[in-house]
Amino acid sequence: MVNLSESTQTKITEHKTVLVTGGAGYIGSHTVLELLEQGYDVVVVDNLCNSQIESLNRVQEITKRQLFFYEASINDADRLHAIFQQHTIDAVIHFAGLKAVKESISQPLEYYKTNVEGTRTLLEVMVHHGCNNIVFSSSATVYGNVDSPTIKEDHPVGPINPYGQTKLTAEYLIHDVCTAHPNFNAALLRYFNPIGAHASGLIGEDPTSPPNNLLPCVTRAMIHRDQPLRVFGTSYNTRDGTAVRDFIHVVDLAQGHLAALRKLFKGAPGCVVYNMGNGRGYSVKEIISKMENVTGVSVPRIDADPRPGDAVSVIADPSLAFEQLQWQPKLGVDEMCRSAWKWQSQNPQGYRLKGKDMPKKLQHRPHQHFSSFPSRH
Ligand code: NAD
Ligand code: WQD
């Protein structure tokens, strides 16, 4: 823990400061990195329920900058108030949430508590402290059953599982706060399928429970070769029979958040919704082939029945974000696969490395990398 000095106090108020909830997680850590590289001061609030503090150690190592970290829940209003008293927060990027569709069916109360009640608590604290800008992690899952080749933001919504319901409810909540408080601005970003990792191979996706998403399952099968990837559905009406998704590199997505922030800082857009995707679909089999081509490593796999509730093809129309945010993804599927494999092969146990297994440059690092402050209540 580092005590505040006069000079640190000045720095906190002079620069734009962004509070990132869920900043230790997969997309959060990549976005914190981009924020630090662009000169923002960053305060992270994360309860580490699905992440490791090591992700942020590594972000600091890559950027050679410090951030402020609080291990706290977004459901804890007292802690949030204390953090907003401690820092002048110009905007919030709100990633904190639970995201496993299957788990949301068996544990809806947990999902509503974190994704809806946690968001409500955060908004209440923001309004109280006059912090008027939020970028929210929403999901293409809010569209539910998709009936068009590409999806625009005005496509009907209709989530088909509790996770999707909580994301849509949080969107409505934020929208209603914008209506009630005309100075309050929000960008609701509906992500399609984020994959890949930072080019350094030092940060990436590291779920604490067995993964469900395609890419972590692909790389896991490449490492644990006796546990083949199950290809869910091979007779869909697509070019090769497997499902099609719009994959977006996590670094492009992170940069999309900075573009949305700039939009909020520039004017008062109210509540705006953007799809975050490439506008191009790849099938499961195409992703497997890409992965094999760029890595030279085969992906052990078996055909399996379709996964219940899966859509055949989900592709964004991201033109609104391209036009209004002056943002466009730059990294293609080759780079998505290459970086995902670099991360996974260099970190087969994710962030859970210890002692002699840890890459040399990460050993013996001081613990004072984080500045953190006691809460004031
Ligand atoms: P992640 O699980 O890696 O990150 C979420 C972070 O939130 C974790 O670090 C977790 O510890 C933290 N968290 C959870 N509950 C919290 C709480 N109550 N208080 C504080 N921190 C809490 O997930 P991710 O893939 O980085 O996703 C980030 C956001 O993007 C989530 O809201 C998710 O719903 C959304 N999203 C993700 C995807 C995807 O495919 N990864 C797609 C669409 C939307
Ligand atoms: C993609 C395709 C699978 C794993 C989910 C959530 C959605 C959003 C993104 C957060 C599907 C197939 C997968 C495997 C496979 N998350 N697959 N074998 O289903 O588009 O969306 O993540 O908001 O809410 O529902 O992504 O990566 O799970 O699956 O064949 O081991 O890969 O069946 O066709 P999806 P995904």
Report the alpha-carbon distance of residue 184 to residue 103 in Å, rounded: 33
Cβ count within 10 A of residue 269: 15
| Catalytic annotation, pick one of 111, 112, 163, 191 | 163
CA–CA separation, 32 and 158 (whole Å): 31
CA 175 vs CA 82, 120, 160: distances in Å: 25, 12, 21
- HSE, side-chain direction, 13 A CA sphere, residue 19: 31
Question: What pLDDT, on a 0 to 100 scale, did the predictor assign at position 207?
Answer: 79
* Cβ-contact 271, 133 below 8 angstroms: no
Per-residue DSSP letters for 55-103? HHHHHHHHHT---EEEE--TT-HHHHHHHHHHS---EEEE------HHH
Residue entry with tokens 């820092």: 87
How many other C-beta atoms are found inside a 10 Å radius of the C-beta of residue 113?
A: 15
> How far is residue 148's CA from residue 146's CA, in Å, rounded to a whole number?
6
Q: Where are the alpha helices (DSSP H) in 248-316?
A: 250-266, 284-295
Residue nearest to atom 32 of ligand 2 (CA): 214
The C-alpha atoms of residue 233 and residue 240 are separated, in whole angstroms, by 11
Ligand nearest the Cα of residue 214 is 2
Q: Find, among 144, 55, 136, 71, the residue nearest to 343 by Cα.
A: 55
| Residue listed under structure tokens 């146990």 | 349
d(CA 32, CA 195): 17
Give me the phi and psi of 121, to 5 degrees please: -60, -45
What local confidence, expressed as pLDDT, does residue 353 receive? Answer: 64
Q: Which residues pair with 245 in a beta bridge?
A: 282, 314
pLDDT tens for the chain, 377 residues long, are 232 333 344 334 348 999 999 999 999 999 999 999 999 999 999 999 999 999 999 999 999 999 999 999 999 999 999 999 999 999 999 999 999 999 999 999 999 999 999 999 999 999 999 999 999 999 999 998 888 999 999 999 999 999 999 999 999 999 999 999 999 999 999 999 999 999 999 999 997 888 899 999 999 999 999 999 999 999 999 999 999 999 999 999 999 999 999 999 998 889 999 999 999 999 999 999 999 999 999 999 999 999 998 999 999 999 999 999 999 999 999 999 999 999 999 999 999 864 444 444 333 333 333 444 333 22
Ligand 1 within 6 A of CB of 256? no
Distance of CA 59 to the CA centre of its chain: 15
Q: Pocket residues for ligand 2 (CB within 6 Å)?
A: 99, 101, 139, 141, 193, 212-214, 217, 229-232, 243, 245, 284, 307, 310, 314
Which phi and psi (to 5°) does residue 68 adopt?
-105, 130
**176-182: long-range contacts, CB 8 A cutoff, minimum separation 24:** 177/123, 177/127, 178/270, 178/271, 179/271, 181/127, 181/132, 182/268, 182/270
193 forms beta bridges with 247
State which H helix or E strand residue 185 sits in.
strand 185-191
Residue 208 is predicted with a pLDDT of 80
Measured in Å, residue 46 CA sits from the centre of ligand 1 at 10
Task: Enumerate the domain spans of the chain.
Answer: 15-362
CA dihedral angle for residue 92, residue 184, residue 162, residue 251, rounded to 10 degrees: -40
The CA angle 295-298-300, to the nearest 5 degrees, is: 140
**Catalytic site includes residue 163:** yes
Give residues with Cβ within 8 angstroms of 317, minimum separation 6: 150, 151, 152, 275, 279
Phi first, then psi: give them for residue 313, nearest 5 degrees: -145, 130
For domain 15-362, give the CATH number. Answer: 3.40.50.720
Ligand 1 within 6 A of 67 CB? no
